[in-house]
Structure 1
Amino acid sequence: MAHSFADITPPIALTPLDGRYRAQAAPLVDHLSEAALNRCRLVVETEWMIHLLDGGVIPGLRTLTDEERALLRAIPEDFGAEGIAEHAEIERETVHDVKAIEYYIKRRLAGTSLEPLSEVVHIYCTSEDVNNLSYALMIRGAVHDVWLPAFQALVDDLEALARDTAEVPMLSRTHGQPATPTTLGKEIAVFAHRLGRQARRIPANQTLGKINGATGTYAAHAVAVPTADWEEVARTFVEHLGLTWNPLTTQIESHDWQAEVYADVARAGRIMHNLATDVWTYISLGYFRQRLSAQGGTGSSTMPHKVNPIRFENAEANLEISGALLDVLAQTLVTTRLQRDLTDSSSQRNVGMAFGHSLLAISNLRKGLAGLDVDPDAMAADLEANWEVLGEAVQSVMRTLGVQGVPGLDNPYERLKDLTRGQRVDGAGMRAFIEGLGLPEAERDRLLALSPATYTGYAARLVERLEDGKA
């Protein structure tokens, strides 16, 4: 009988993010893992205790000493492997993860000068007071400290590639058909510009939090200490954590801000997906050559001539998974039944997967781009084989002259259509057509000087707009 992998120690990873792709996703563990959630809960609980005591909120209780404040803040700082195991042991007894956090803190206060004040831990709080603030800290950290730097690095890579190839002419394809030429750099700059907008948009999202009790009414607070301004206490505490105070909630913070972040990250992912498919297509057209050393040791298991564009294909797949998860989270988290249900708790535990697949995709895109060499000769050959794309230029000049009253230039579109549609036109054929139009000398010479490689308009200079986009 085959071995059961479930019995192997250390445990076998169920998902690729914790197995095959662990190295790429690992930076998120400090922010979006279960251990990170419990560390943030410890931060919220200990800071709440400090806030209440140092603020003199509860009459008759003393303020903290510097040593006591340091003791409390050391609890989350020291939360490591042993602490994770101890919390899990407590949770097996409480069958409640936040209550286990409360007991974990009280164990550390035992035998210290804070033991007489240990009942201040978690006072006036419902679990969601602690959880919403913890998730806010986690998601903000994951986005700002891990995801955004990786995303910005991709944008920087694209901007550098755009500038390096700003003047490399390339045949465009609209609807998959040869179209007005461009430059490779301009097309890469379009993606850099699109993604750069998202990189600037995402940090502007607010990260909201609340600490107002079981149904958002401060009922327990007000009845226990009616002299305190509990809204002000809550506001200053939430802002002390670096978050934006949400003054009006049910038991849960409404999670709308999370949905906004996930929508933005998902949108950025869809733009990256577009980048991956376009670069994949350029590789298939021969516009890019792949260096085998940058893509992996083996190109194809059976066809030794091939170097497969696996980085871009991997990015596609992971962005699709990430986008689907982010969409589900954004949809689920903005809805709760009446004042509270638990669907958000289960959903939020998957935020790490959503960001993990996105981070993995960004890593693959960057590695894929780093392993490409531009092949300007292949692009030049493609342009030379498609002189018919100058039909747009010729008929545009004819139309301009026609409306200016120059005779003999009737039906320019139709005449170019007869020449070019459904058939190849070489340089000699296009020049012969231009010579036979009877154009004024200046326009004739300008068109005769054109080739598909030079008919790129402002493409090269448009790359400079990348700087404008940052203004």
Structure 2
Amino acid sequence: MPAHESSPSAAPAARTSLADVEPPIALGPLDGRYRRTVAALVDHLSEAALNRERVHVEVEWLIHLTTHGVVPGAPALSDAEQAYLRAVVTGFGADDVARLAEIERTTVHDVKAVEYFLKEKIAAAPSVLGEGTVLPSVSELVHFCCTSEDINNLSYSLMVRGAVRDVWLPAATGLVDDLAATARDLADVPMLALTHGQPATPTTLGKELAVLAHRLRRQLRRVEGAEYLGKLNGATGTYGAHVVAVPGADWPEVSRTFVEHLGLTWNPLTTQIESHDWQAELYADVARFNRVLHNLATDVWSYISRGVFTQIPVAGATGSSTMPHKVNPIRFENAEANLELSCALLDSLGATLVTSRLQRDLTDSTTQRNIGPAFGHSLLAVDNVRRGLAALSVDRDLLARELDQNWEVLGEPVQSAMRAAAVAGVTGMENPYERLKELTRGRRLTADDMREFIAGLGLPADVEARLQALTPAGYTGLAADLLRYLDA
């Protein structure tokens, strides 16, 4: 064989397909690496939760129709029969998920599969309630006069409301409460402020954290006040089938009372779909909370980089695979990334859901299946920031050193005191700003430099004494007192 020719290499061994591994491997990190943190959302925003909520809406619609005698000849259901139907919802579990999936393989329509599923449960009622039950006679009132969107829009409203109120809001509120408590603990800890990254008028660490807590709390109030809308009015929002089937009923009133029975706000004017504007409003508020939280994460990251905060090492944890000394701010970096992902999804949801071609298109169907990931990434970020904050310690010595190395920041109060003195008629106070600019700009001053300058100004004795006693650490104004507005 010529020297330039090589022998054929062995064919690479076939890899095991990870797609065939049982139980199935998650494609995304929220259902894999981070599932423990976001698992509570599965009970509200998963596909199984959507189907359970659809069953819930169908059950309550059937009970509403029969309880209020909307359809002539339909018997009222007994307490036992209503309890049987509602138990289908409360007992909805793995077997029901599997059965629905099996039905949908035939119907190729998710809401129709729910209708058939519930009719199966009604057909089985005599074996539980006895042959005297009237449930089989009202089987055709399941999904009566409904379009799929009548069921879906109510289901999504209930799902999102549950996810926000039961999972996301408690977690976000807990984080803000922790942050507010930390701000109060550090209210009196003086710190050199940085504007444009340069030394500026001192503040307190607690006041700066309080600003972020106050901003976050305001967004939480907006989320807490969200409206969750719903409609039930047929294929194009006209009650067309309703009026033909039962012309004697006050269908808008039946719809309103039903939607409000579910704890939702009734939308009286829609196309085939509920317009989703409430979702866009809610997601904008959650995204804004995310962005303020992102600001907190980047600020804390900067404080860690500067040494203001030190991180308490976790036993056994590794910061770097090669640098043993590293304790990286991973909680805040992870939070930043997940907040950005959440905002991207929430922004897309809000932009997409408010538009529907004419009376109906299906862009919202796929879009809404990503509500779970949007809240999941936000919830994961909230958890990371909360855990990150709990692992911080303040280096008060560093803060004191920084302040003592930047006496030039007292140029502001000195020139301000000179201005006040000039207005009061004290001579020799000309051009106060310019004189302090010449003294301080681009220079580091010592305590002696500043005190010597003050002594030579000819200020009234009380003013001079006040300025001579001032230090960078003592120049924090009302910073600590401002925390009384934190929960306002």
Q: If the TM-score is normalised by the length of the shorter chain, which range does it land in?
A: over 0.9
The yes-or-no answer on 1:278 pairing with 2:299 is: yes
The yes-or-no answer on 1:137 pairing with 2:154 is: no
User: Is the partner of 2:472 in helix, strand or coil?
Assistant: coil
How many Å apart are 1:59 and its aligned residue? 0.7
- What is the rounded CA distance, in whole Å, between the counterparts of 2:322 and 2:478 in structure 1? 45
Report the AA paired with residue 5 of structure 1. L
The yes-or-no answer on 1:450 pairing with 2:474 is: no
What residue number does 1:87 align with? 100
What residue number does 1:151 align with? 172
What residue number does 2:66 align with? 53
- Which of 430, 433, 452 is the matching residue for 1:432? 452
How many Å apart are 1:464 and its aligned residue? 1.6
Identity %: 68
- What is the rounded CA distance, in whole Å, between the counterparts of 1:404 and 1:3 in structure 2? 86
- Which of 363, 366, 370 is the matching residue for 2:383? 363
- What is the rounded CA distance, in whole Å, between the counterparts of 2:101 and 2:147 in structure 1? 20
- What is the rounded CA distance, in whole Å, between the counterparts of 1:22 and 1:65 in structure 2? 42
How many Å apart are 1:245 and its aligned residue? 0.1
Report the AA paired with residue 362 of structure 1. V
How many Å apart are 1:194 and its aligned residue? 0.6
How many Å apart are 1:400 and its aligned residue? 1.0
What residue number does 1:350 align with? 370
- Which of 327, 336, 344 is the matching residue for 1:324? 344
The yes-or-no answer on 1:218 pairing with 2:231 is: no
- Which of 104, 114, 125 is the matching residue for 2:146? 125
Contact kept? 1:292, 1:299, Cα under 8 Å: no
- Which of 123, 128, 151 is the matching residue for 1:110? 123
- Which of 414, 418, 426 is the matching residue for 2:438? 418
What residue number does 2:10 align with? none
- What is the rounded CA distance, in whole Å, between the counterparts of 1:57 and 1:18 in structure 2? 44
User: Is the partner of 2:191 in helix, strand or coil?
Assistant: strand
- What is the rounded CA distance, in whole Å, between the counterparts of 2:16 and 2:452 in structure 1? 77
Report the AA paired with residue 452 of structure 2. A
Contact kept? 1:292, 1:298, Cα under 8 Å: no
The yes-or-no answer on 1:268 pairing with 2:289 is: yes
How many Å apart are 1:403 and its aligned residue? 1.9
What residue number does 2:201 align with? 180
Unaligned 5+ segments in structure 2 are 1-13, 127-132
What residue number does 1:397 align with? 417
Contact kept? 1:53, 1:64, Cα under 8 Å: yes
How many Å apart are 1:14 and its aligned residue? 0.5
- What is the rounded CA distance, in whole Å, between the counterparts of 1:338 and 1:75 in structure 2? 36
Task: Tell me the TM-score normalized by structure 2.
Answer: 0.95
How many Å apart are 1:224 and its aligned residue? 0.5
Report the AA paired with residue 342 of structure 1. L
- What is the rounded CA distance, in whole Å, between the counterparts of 1:249 and 1:306 in structure 2? 57
User: Is the partner of 2:237 in helix, strand or coil?
Assistant: coil
Paired residues, what number? 467
The yes-or-no answer on 1:304 pairing with 2:324 is: yes
Contact kept? 1:192, 1:466, Cα under 8 Å: yes
Report the AA paired with residue 110 of structure 2. D
The yes-or-no answer on 1:461 pairing with 2:481 is: yes
User: Is the partner of 2:474 in helix, strand or coil?
Assistant: coil
Contact kept? 1:289, 1:375, Cα under 8 Å: yes
How many Å apart are 1:244 and its aligned residue? 0.3
Higher deviation after alignment, 101-110 or 399-408? 399-408
- What is the rounded CA distance, in whole Å, between the counterparts of 2:436 and 2:401 in structure 1? 23
- What is the rounded CA distance, in whole Å, between the counterparts of 1:420 and 1:62 in structure 2? 89
Report the AA paired with residue 165 of structure 2. H
Report the AA paired with residue 464 of structure 1. R
How many Å apart are 1:102 and its aligned residue? 0.4
Report the AA paired with residue 68 of structure 1. E
How many Å apart are 1:404 and its aligned residue? 1.9
- What is the rounded CA distance, in whole Å, between the counterparts of 1:60 and 1:354 in structure 2? 46
What residue number does 2:6 align with? none
Report the AA paired with residue 413 of structure 2. A
Task: Output one character per residue of 1:350-397: Cα deviation in whole Å (capped at 9) or x when no partner.
Answer: 000000000000000000000001111111111111110000010000
- What is the rounded CA distance, in whole Å, between the counterparts of 1:149 and 1:380 in structure 2? 37
Task: Output one character per residue of 1:49-87: Cα deviation in whole Å (capped at 9) or x when no partner.
Answer: 000001000011110011110111011111100000000
Contact kept? 1:322, 1:357, Cα under 8 Å: yes
How many Å apart are 1:304 and its aligned residue? 1.2
- What is the rounded CA distance, in whole Å, between the counterparts of 1:137 and 1:366 in structure 2? 28
- Which of 257, 260, 263 is the matching residue for 1:236? 257
Report the AA paired with residue 254 of structure 1. S
Higher deviation after alignment, 296-305 or 185-194? 296-305
After superposing on structure 2, the runs of 4+ consecutive aligned residues of structure 1 that deviate more than 3 Å are none
- What is the rounded CA distance, in whole Å, between the counterparts of 1:265 and 1:386 in structure 2? 40
Larger Rg: 2
